[in-house]
Every structure is written in structure tokens, then in C-alpha cells.
Amino acid sequence: MQRPQQQQQQELKQPLKNRIPSVSSSTSTAVNTNPNHLATTSTSASNAAAVTPPNTLTPNRNYAASDTSGEHDVDYTDARYECAICIHWLNEPVLTSCGHRFCKSCLSDWLHNENQCCPLDNKPLSAEHDIFPDNYTRREIEQIKHKCPNSPLGCSVVASPIEVDRHLPSCPYRRQQAQREEKCPFASIKCDFVGRPETNALEEHLKTDMPHHMQLMLQAFQQKAIASWQPQKPNKGTGAVENGFGSHQVQPPAQYANEADEQIVQAMYQRIVVLEQHTREQDTRLENLGKQLRLARQVDPRYSNGTIVWQIEQFSALVERLRSNANNQVYSHECYTSPYGYKFCARLNVQPRKPQMLSLHVHLMQSENDFHLEWPFKGRIKLCMVHPNDGGQSQLDTIMTKPEILAFHQPRERISTRGFGFLEYANISDIVGLGFCANDRLVIKIEINIV
Amino acid sequence: MANMAVSRIKREFKEVMRSEEIVQCSIKIELVNDSWTELRGEIAGPPDTPYEGGKFVLEIKVPETYPFNPPKVRFITRIWHPNISSVTGAICLDILKDNWAAAMTLRTVLLSLQALLAAAEPDDPQDAVVAYQFKDKHELFLMTAKHWTNAYAGGPHTFPDCDSKIQRLKDMGIEEHDARAVLSKENWNLEKATECLFS
């Protein structure tokens, strides 16, 4: 210690004489002064840390521990600077008229919760008159210096507990801390989400990333299945499990994959069957709907205005059928004289005794209008066999109703058993011969008018 | 769960862990799940009461609005006490209802419940049957409470008379707890209990 000091003195005495010794002496002074300097700074540090608070505050067990050692985090509060509501450092402290301190936001939350009294002694408190900002305490707390809880990880922030709290969410060293704190429960299957405990990000993550987790689970499951795969089938014959296993060591995943593919194919096949069935059902429905639509397109008999245009297709076949049995007869579609009028239809048949002659009768039908109509029916019936090429040749007959004819009385069955018309309406050979039957189609038009 | 509730429960947890009572084993607290919303408390039956020697387990549910609203607490361990339902374990205690204050903590709640065991309020009952017995047949009440403490909370006092009556009902096909409950309600009158069960 002596020598360097002498050198320094020499240097000071002869600053310009020799440059090199001055350099060496300056290094030695640096060595020399450092311990002193360190000593002073350490005392000043201890002054700042340990001396100032004890001067202003009575040392508290928690407080002393947290301040001098720095091992404890901001969670250890000084009981006098603790808010009884959040049990944490007073943030923007307020003082009540009954002498208790709380965080400003804590107390206002409490008072808003329909509690108009002090949480500590139940004295009535009015939010307007009994609460005052406690700036003295706020400054006292600001004086307290804490290390950031992440200081073991390298964070060098030293601030008041409130500031440290505020600093924590943005602390550059927080990530490691967070990882320690709150991993996703699916971390074991390689979900690398990490949330911070003071946020509900993890909760959100669990809600929103479910598909991702499902995928991870599937992967994990597949890997597990591959890992635990035992080639049972090939070993059946050999008996020596280990030998068999050795020979198949590389194969299993591929085989397993094939098996998985097979399962997928099978599942797809089943799905196709289901879909085909579904398509068939849809086709049927479509067909039925089409039928309904076609029916709906036909003129509602209610609005036929008393006219039937009866187009008989395949006339020759019909004649054969009528001739084969005297009981065979064919009815036209139904018709109304008016929407609320009489309902009737026409009938064709062949007399057994006169197979050449076609009979045509008009029958009244029961309808929902019968109850308010006048009976017997009075009107004119025009029968017309339409010639397809020459209107002049069309055969026209007109019948007037007579009240005594039973056919015009109110029908007692769906179709009145009695009809009115011609037993011998036309000779079938004439019909064909005169060309009424072009394309094997006969058209008979019946018009009924009320008189 | 709200941030405030979680951070406060975490701090309270530490407080209970550091407290004197935990050293004396008179109160205990533990987590049920990781979300800090549900906890399990345990209190020792206070000395010089029929509950002495028993350990009573409590279900503690922390609402999201904690600490502005009280935690929901009930006894899981069955107990014979005028202010606690012998059926559901529901507790009638003012601080868990209207008189809750944000400054109260899990520790103070557990200590209050311990105090409730030591000083029942039969005039503000939760279980009317127990309260009636407490006021009218106090000796019988003490015996029943001790018997329940023995049966459910590991208390030291046994009552062979009670056990034999319960056994009689069990022989008739009644569940042990139902038998005990009915006998307790009927002041250990076996005939009345039987009548009550089979009528």
C-alpha cells in the first residue's frame, strides 16, 4: 500500500517529468483507490437501502427481510402499507374518516357493491365525504425500493413495490418466469402455449385452440400406437417373439400406417353407403314432389266451367277392354259447372248385346256444394265428338234435362248410379272409319250449362 | 376468474400457511383444483366443547367477486350444531352473509367458524331440530354432538348406548347415517325413531 502511494506522490510532484511512470502509477492508483471507492459506494448503497428506511420507518420483520436481502419479492408487504381488501401494497392509498387505509380502487369497488361501511370496522362510510387521498402514505411507499422478482433471472429493476407490480407484466425476463408459472395443460403433448398467471390468456387459449389440441392429441395417440405396436400376426407361427420382433423392427410403422389407411378406407366406404342411401331417399322425395306439381298444374275441376274435354288415348285398346267384359266402363275426369256448382263426369261403356255401339252417359257426382244447390238439376248438356281434322264432321248432340229423370236428382252415392245419355251413342267402326280416331285418340267434349 | 379474487386468494393462502394457527394445527387449508376457486378448509373442534378432538372439513367456494362478496362455505363433515344444518352442512353465520367485509380473510372465516362451534346461537338457528334440543335438552344435545363428532370427525367420546340403538335400526335395514339422524332428532328414543322411519 505504501509504494503506490509514494509513486503517486512522485507523480503528483513531477507530473511532466516522465510519462511512463505516470501511466504505471495511474494504474496503481486505480488499484489503490478502488477498494476505497468500493467501500464508500457500499456504504452509500447500504445508506440508501438500509439507512433511509429505518430512519423514517420502524423496522418491520417483513420489511427488513425484503429490503436488505432482496430475496423476497413484492408479495411480502409491510402490514402498515397493506390494503385490507387486496392484501397487497396500497395503490393510490385513501384514508377513511375512521382511520383506515385502502387502495383507492379497492375501496370504491367495495362501496359500489352496496356496502356503505368500512370493511374493517363497519363504520358507515360515504364515498363523497369520508374518503381522502393519503398522499403521505403514497410517498412513503414510493420510498421503499424492491428488486424485481425476476432479479434472479437477471432483471436489474429496483423500484417501489407499486412500480415493480406495474413493471412485471412488461419485464423482459418475465417469460422464463411465466413458463415456470403457467403452462398449457396440453404441454405434455407439445402444445407450446405459455400464459402469464396474471392474465386469463390460458383460459382463452383453452377455449379457442381446442381443434389444435385435438390434433395434438391425435398425433400423440398415433405415436403412442406406433410405439406400442406389437407385430402379433407374423409371430404367431414362429413363437419366438423377440426374433420375430427383430425382423420386423422397421416395418411396423408402415404396416400400421397401412392398417390405418385401411380403417380410413373402410370408414369412407361406410360413409359412401350412407350417402348413397340418402341420395336415393332424396330422389324419391323429388319424384313425389314432381308428381304433386304435375297434379297441381292440371286445371282444378272446380274451374272447368262445366266443360269436360275428354281425350281418350289408345282408343282401340280401350274398346277391346270394354268389349271383353260388359261390366268394364271408363269414367272421365270430374268437372264442375261453376266453382260452387254441380259436379259431374262422363262414362263410356259397350253394351254386351251390341258390341259395335259405344254408350256415353253423363253422371252427376256428390260434391260439397250439393246441400245448397237446387235439385233436380236443370240444364243443357251438349255432347260433342270432336273430329280432329274437320270441325264440320264433329258429332254434336244436345240434351235438355227433365225433372222427372232420376239421373238429375241429388246423387246418393259418390257417382250417381243413374246416368243420362245415349245407350247407342256411336258405332265404333264409324268412329274409326270417319277418322275421329287419329293417332288412336278420341276426343269427346261435354258442356253442361245451367238453365 | 377475476384477477383480483385469484391474487387475493393466493396471498391469503400464504397468510394462512404462515399463521400461528397452522402451527397449532387448529386450522388448515388446501387447494382442490388449480383455478383457486375451490378450497378445502379444516378446523379443529375447540377445547371444552362437544366438538373437541374432532377435525371438521369445510368446502370453500370463492366467487368471482371475492373479496367484495363472501366465500361460500359449508361443512363437509357432518356435525350436530344449532347453526349448521345436520343434513346439508349449510352454515348460518352473519359474516358469511350480510355482515361480510372485504377485510375478512379465509383465516378469519375459519377462526370465526371455530368460534361458532364454541358459542352456538340457538336463537338464530340453521337446524331447528338441533336448536330445540340445544335449548330444551342440553345434556342430550351435548351427548349427541359428541357422538356425531366421534362418528364423523374422529372425536374421542363413544356412547355404547347410542351405538347399540343405531345397530338395532341397522338390523332393520336402515342406513347407519339415517338411523343416527333419526335417533338424534327423536332424542334417542328408539320407539319414536322406529315409528318415524316406518310410518
- What pLDDT digit, counting tens, does each position of B133-182 carry? 999 899 999 999 999 999 999 988 888 988 999 998 888 888 899 999 99
Please determine, for residue A347, whether its predicted confidence score (pLDDT) is greater than 50: yes
pLDDT of amino acid A249: 46
Triad A299, A301, A302: Cα angle to 5°: 110
CB contact under 8 A, B103 and A198: no
More confident residue, A162 or B75: B75
Close Cβ partners of B143 (under 8 Å, ≥ 6 residues apart): B50, B159, B162, B188
A chain contacts of residue B69, beta-carbon cutoff 8 Å: 113
Please determine, for residue A366, whether its predicted confidence score (pLDDT) is greater than 60: yes
Half-sphere exposure of B169 (CA within 13 A, CB side): 27
B chain contacts of residue A87, beta-carbon cutoff 8 Å: 8, 11-12, 15, 105
| Interchain CB contact of A200 with B (< 8 Å) | yes
Q: Name the residue among A88, A113, A120 with its Cβ closest to that of B11.
A: A88
Structural domain contains residue A240: no
Residues of chain B with CATH 3.10.110.10: 3-118
| Interchain CB contact of A85 with B (< 8 Å) | yes
If pLDDT is split at 50, 70 and 90, which confidence band does B79 have? very high
Judged by phi (left if over 0) then psi (alpha if -120 to 50, else beta), residue A44 lies in alpha
Cα–Cα distance for residue pair A370/A368, rounded to 1 Å: 6
CB contact under 8 A, A88 and B15: no
CB contact under 8 A, B8 and A86: yes
For the CA atoms of A199, A201, A207, A211, the dihedral, rounded to the nearest 10 degrees, stands at: -160
Cα–Cα distance for residue pair A172/A154, rounded to 1 Å: 9
pLDDT of amino acid A6: 43
Pair (A275, A398) in one structural domain: no
Pair (A431, A324) in one structural domain: yes
Count of CB pairs separated by less than 8 Å, A with B:
47
Residues A219-273 pLDDT 10s: 888 877 777 766 555 444 444 444 444 444 444 444 555 777 888 888 888 899 9
Cα–Cα distance for residue pair A368/A430, rounded to 1 Å: 40
B chain contacts of residue A119, beta-carbon cutoff 8 Å: 101-104
Residues A271-315 pLDDT 10s: 999 999 999 999 999 999 998 888 776 667 888 888 998 988 888
B chain contacts of residue A86, beta-carbon cutoff 8 Å: 4, 7-8, 11, 67
Structural domain contains residue A91: no
SS3 category, A247: helix
Would you please indicate which residues of B are annotated as catalytic (active-site) residues?
Answer: 92
- Cell 387459449: give the residue: A205
CB contact under 8 A, B15 and A117: no
Q: Kindly report the CATH number assigned to the domain that includes residue A343.
A: 2.60.210.10
| Interchain CB contact of A122 with B (< 8 Å) | yes
Domain range for A267 is: 254-298
Pair (A336, A418) in one structural domain: yes
Cα–Cα distance for residue pair B85/B75, rounded to 1 Å: 9
Structural domain contains residue A337: yes
| Interchain CB contact of A204 with B (< 8 Å) | no
Domain end, chosen from A20, A36, A51, is at A51
Pair (A329, A278) in one structural domain: no
- Among B145, B144, B193, B148, which residue's Cα sits nearest to residue B168? B193
Structural domain contains residue A196: yes
Structural domain contains residue A244: no
Cα→Cα distances A231→A142, A302, A309, Å: 70, 78, 80
Pair (A16, A32) in one structural domain: yes
ipTM score of complex: 0.73
Question: What is the nearest CA distance from B125 to chain A, expressed in angstroms?
Answer: 24
Average confidence (pLDDT) over B72-80: 94
Cα–Cα distance for residue pair A254/A314, rounded to 1 Å: 69
Structural domain contains residue A445: yes
Close Cβ partners of A255 (under 8 Å, ≥ 6 residues apart): A231, A248
- Cell 266451367: give the residue: A305
Buried b (16+ CB within 10 A) or exposed e, A388-419: eeeeeeebeeebebeeeeebbeebeeebbeeb
Average confidence (pLDDT) over A368-378: 89
For the CA atoms of A184, A189, A191, A195, the dihedral, rounded to the nearest 10 degrees, stands at: 10
Judge residue A273's burial from the number of C-beta atoms within 10 Å of its C-beta, 0-12 exposed, 13-18 middle, 19 or more buried.
exposed
Structural domain contains residue A285: yes
CB contact under 8 A, B103 and A84: yes
pLDDT of amino acid A230: 62
Pair (A218, A273) in one structural domain: no
CB contact under 8 A, B8 and A113: no
| Interchain CB contact of A209 with B (< 8 Å) | no
Q: Name the residue among A75, A85, A199 with its Cβ closest to that of B67.
A: A85
Pair (A311, A443) in one structural domain: yes
Pair (A367, A424) in one structural domain: yes
Yes or no: say if A346 and A325 are a contact pair by the CB < 8 Å rule. Answer: no
Best residue of B1, B4, B107, B109 to probe chain A, by most A CBs closer than 10 Å? B4
Pair (A340, A433) in one structural domain: yes
| Interchain CB contact of A113 with B (< 8 Å) | yes
Average confidence (pLDDT) over A418-442: 88
| Interchain CB contact of A116 with B (< 8 Å) | no
A chain contacts of residue B65, beta-carbon cutoff 8 Å: 113
Number of domains in chain A: 4
| Interchain CB contact of A314 with B (< 8 Å) | no
Pair (A288, A308) in one structural domain: no
Structural domain contains residue A216: yes
- Among A330, A339, A283, A281, which residue's Cα sits nearest to residue A306? A339
Closest residue of B to A109, CA-based? B68
Pair (A205, A271) in one structural domain: no
E strand segments, A248-402: 307-312, 329-331, 335-336, 343-350, 357-365, 379-386, 395-400
Share of chain A above pLDDT 70, in %: 73
Please determine, for residue A126, whether its predicted confidence score (pLDDT) is greater than 80: yes
**Bridge partners of A399?**
A381
Pair (A205, A258) in one structural domain: no
More confident residue, A285 or A25: A285
Average confidence (pLDDT) over B126-136: 89
Domain B3-118 belongs to what topology?
Ubiquitin Conjugating Enzyme (3.10.110)
